[in-house]
Amino acid sequence: MPITVIEAISTLGAALSRHYPLGVSSIPRELGPDTANVAVYSPANHDVVLCFQPPGGGWKAVLLADKTDGVHHGLVENMPAGTRYGFYTDLDATQEELLLIDPEAVQLLLDPYGRYIDELTDAQGVTRYLSVRMDSGFDWGTVKRPNTPWRETVFYEAHVRGQTMLHPDVPEDIRGSYAGMAHPAMIQHLVDLGVTAVELLPVHFHIDEPHLHGTGMTNYWGYNTLGFFAPHVQYASAAAQAAGPQAVQAELKGMIKLLHMAGIEVILDVVYNHTAEGGSGGPSYSWRGLAEEQYYRMRDGHYFDTTGCGNTLNFGNPHVIKMAMDSLRYWVEEFHIDGFRFDLAVSLARDGEHAFNNQHPFLLAAATDGVLASTKLISEPWDIGYGGWQTGNFPTGWADWNDSFRDNVREVWLTDRAAMLAGYHHQGLAKFGDALGGSAAMFAASGRSRMATVNLITAHDGFTLADLTAYNHKHNEDNQEDSRDGTNNNRSWNHGVEGITNNPNTLSQRARTSRNLMATMLLALGVPLITAGDEIGRSQGGNNNVYCQDNEIAWVDWTMDDEAKTMLAATSRLLKIRKDFLAAQPSSYPTRGGQSFIHWFGADGAPMTPSVGATRTSVS
């Protein structure tokens, strides 16, 4: 490859630049709109070079002249919106050698605060990534965030691509895109169903893990982040991608605007627990090359991983907390996001000794921050490290995905019923009653009400609702891992036949069980979460780990046969019952302790006795 000719330039003067905010930011108007303040955290490196290419221009390189508290910074001219850039550093190189770098021959280090990532593949098939300076302008008009109260909230977990790839009423050219998610047919489905918020699987820029290369599979779910401030480009329509970064950004913002116009909140599933750089010795895309020992959790000089993904971001370091907080504020302020679901949230709350602390600075900062205070903060309250299961233990201001609710309800309607039919005893209904009542015992110690439990039966990870009733065992052969992947603890029941059957009695029983499961979740105290497609009986053919299946296995099938129509009608009706009931209750219900109660009745309509269950449960 020929050496790229670059122009080495100097900054406007270190005294004028700032070490805050990090990333590329505008500066006083008198210096011109194309002049930028550039700041990057890299404490161990003596020098950092910025390489940048203005639109239509050649590459330039500048040594960031000043360093304050580990942040290299400088003012740079001729760096307008649309400029591609990256950083280069080398502990063993002189300043002169650093400025000789060929930006087209190496992977420059991405800006951890970069607002867009451009992906380039050369003739040899080598892919490189570059940060891009963005203009954040967008016309939001008079559209405001819905600000739906917690007790009226119903989450709908969806994948931007999978939601519309097979939808017959969405035009083919925008299927699987932000624009497709915002199409009138899709929004009308959500409104008619009765959900109030879409919880989107990651839309931060992400890439495939190395082990998927050459398999024909990709990281479909997107839990492998390369940019915490950058939208995932491949979810934009082909037209938007062709038009460039501003069009991609505008399409995502347009999707959020249209959903808000329909009264639907947008929640982002965010992955701050690890990055796409993988384990020690993996590629240096950004954080590893800039400040590896500060960004990543270490023990005795080695990576200490509580995520199972090779690395874990070190939330014992204030710079990592600051990066996450700045990212969250950015998505709220610039994209009008309504809340966040935090993947493996326990890893975000481990202290310098790697132990979980429910008063961790990050948890408290997010819950009390002026920008984030009006958003919904939802933890996935576990990781794979020691003491990793913390459901019910997060502080006020947070809600938790309630896996205990999921497991208890599945057992009652699935494995316990199967056991009874086989002549064995079931486990009783005490835990089931607690789940219906909002899991009070689990959440009371943290000072939170029943609105802190996010009740779910299924999620993206695991069986769909229909597959819970059709498979006793996972069938993950298509993942090419000999079915070693995915959990074996599904608490499912196939109703006597494994998988597909034409037996009308079996199909009827499965459909009824699905409705029972859905009814239990939607009528229980707490905040329900529906997985996209469960309302129409979507199946994944028994695959309970479709993270790598960007195809019909994982996409929502919108074929509306009689079974799908029945399930949809039942789900919509249940949500209407829930909405009408809550509308008739005092505004304090069910959060004020001692002011409301749950009364339990048997199938005959008579109050239950202590021999069969509690006669009354206080709501605290």
Token representation of residue 122:
């050369």
> Can you tell me the distance from the alpha carbon of 440 to that of 447, in angstroms, rounded to the nearest whole number?
10
Is residue 380 part of the annotated active site? The answer reads yes
> Can you tell me the distance from the alpha carbon of 24 to that of 18, in angstroms, rounded to the nearest whole number?
11
Residue tagged 């607690």 (tokens) = 434
Identify which of 310, 342, 318, 317 has the alpha carbon closest to the alpha carbon of residue 328.
342
| Helix (H/G/I), strand (E/B), else coil: 590 | coil
Q: At what angle do helices 504-523 and 562-583 cross, to 10 degrees?
A: 20
209, 380, 383, 550: the catalytic one is: 380
DSSP string of 288-346? HHHHHHHHB-EETTEE--SSSSS--B-TTSHHHHHHHHHHHHHHHHHH---EEEETTGG
* Residue 566 backbone phi and psi in degrees, to 5: -65, -45
343, 411, 434, 534: the catalytic one is: 343
Q: How far is CA 341 from CA 70, 200, 237, 317, 401, in A?
A: 31, 9, 25, 22, 9
> Can you tell me the distance from the alpha carbon of 108 to that of 88, in angstroms, rounded to the nearest whole number?
6
Contacts of 166 (CB under 8 A, 6+ apart): 175, 552, 555, 556, 557, 558
In DSSP terms, 350 is beta-bridged to 356
Residue tagged 């949230």 (tokens) = 345
DSSP string of 383-413? -SSTT-B-TT-S-TT-EEEEHHHHHHHHIII
What element of type H or E holds 125?
Answer: none
Q: What is the CA radius of gyration of the chain?
A: 26
Contacts of 499 (CB under 8 A, 6+ apart): 470, 471, 475, 541, 542
> Can you tell me the distance from the alpha carbon of 380 to that of 402, in angstroms, rounded to the nearest whole number?
8
Farthest CA pair distance, the chain? 86
> Can you tell me the distance from the alpha carbon of 385 to that of 393, in angstroms, rounded to the nearest whole number?
16
In DSSP terms, 24 is beta-bridged to 38
Q: How far is CA 3 from CA 6, 59, 61, 101, 455, in A?
A: 9, 11, 14, 9, 57
Contacts of 192 (CB under 8 A, 6+ apart): 572
| Helix (H/G/I), strand (E/B), else coil: 430 | helix
194 C-beta neighbours (distance < 10 Å), count: 20
Identify which of 544, 406, 564 has the alpha carbon closest to the alpha carbon of residue 484.
544
Active site residue ranges? 343, 380
